[in-house]
Amino acid sequence: MNITDVKVYPVEEDKLKAYVTITLDHCFVIRDLKVIHGASGLFIAMPAKRRKDGTYKDIAHPLNADTRTQMERAILQEYERHQQTGMGAMGSFLSAAEAD
């Protein structure tokens, strides 16, 4: 699995810094990931749905630590690039495998 595109949609909120959409292998999109500023720095929250009991359940999430790390790295890299360049509403990222 390759992350072939990352789009960052910055927001002006206290802890929530951006919404993110990623594309996997040019054929599967995951929307509404979030870049959040927590007590120990930035982290990625997976898209979730609120249940009737008030709890939240992830709609999509990585099944192992390696995949989570790959996703976090790609998303945070694009978020930081976006912050440095001051791009408009979004930026794009192609994985190293796609750039070759």
Pairing of strands 48-50, 41-45: unpaired
Predicted structure pTM score: 0.80
Q: Which tens digits make up the pLDDT trace of 51-80?
A: 999 999 999 999 999 999 999 999 999 999
Q: Which tens digits make up the pLDDT trace of 10-61?
A: 998 999 999 999 999 999 999 999 999 999 999 999 999 999 999 999 999 9
Residue ranges and CATH numbers for the domains of the chain are: 3-98 (3.30.1120.40)
